[in-house]
Amino acid sequence: MNVVNENGTPLTQPENKKLIAGILAILIGSIGIHKFVLGYTKEGILQIVITIVTCGIGGIIPLIEGIVYLTKTDEEFYQIYQIGKRGWF
């Protein structure tokens, strides 16, 4: 079923990046790729620096973030991380 607004133009669902960001955070989050996917360039660069400075121990942060991303509902994730631009957790 297509949803249309009052003018009759079709409304499209905004892209929800929850699944891709969550999986990337868990698998290769230490290089900050999930941050770049969500549009958080500064946070992505900071994640890379944290991983290098801590000799990889900082990779625990994206593991936790990935779990948090995947446990949120689609609407919560979209509102918090894509609309609200909350950079961490």
Instruction: Kindly report, residue by residue over 29-54, the tens digit of the pLDDT.
Output: 999 999 999 999 999 999 999 999 99
Q: Which domain holds residue 28?
A: 18-83
pTM for the predicted model, two decimal places: 0.78
Q: For 18-32, what is the mean pLDDT? A: 95
Judged by phi (left if over 0) then psi (alpha if -120 to 50, else beta), residue 57 lies in: alpha
Backbone angles phi, psi at 10, to 5 degrees: -65, 140
* 23 part of a folded domain: yes
Domain count, the chain: 1
* 33 part of a folded domain: yes
Looking at residue 32, its pLDDT comes to: 93
Looking at residue 86, its pLDDT comes to: 82
With the CA atoms of 64, 19, 28 and 85 taken in that order, what torsion angle do they form, in degrees rounded to the nearest 10? -70
Neighbouring-strand partners of residue 4: 10
Structure tokens of 28?
């290769």
* 51 part of a folded domain: yes
* 25 part of a folded domain: yes
Instruction: Kindly report, residue by residue over 53-84, the tens digit of the pLDDT.
Output: 999 999 999 999 999 999 999 999 999 998 88
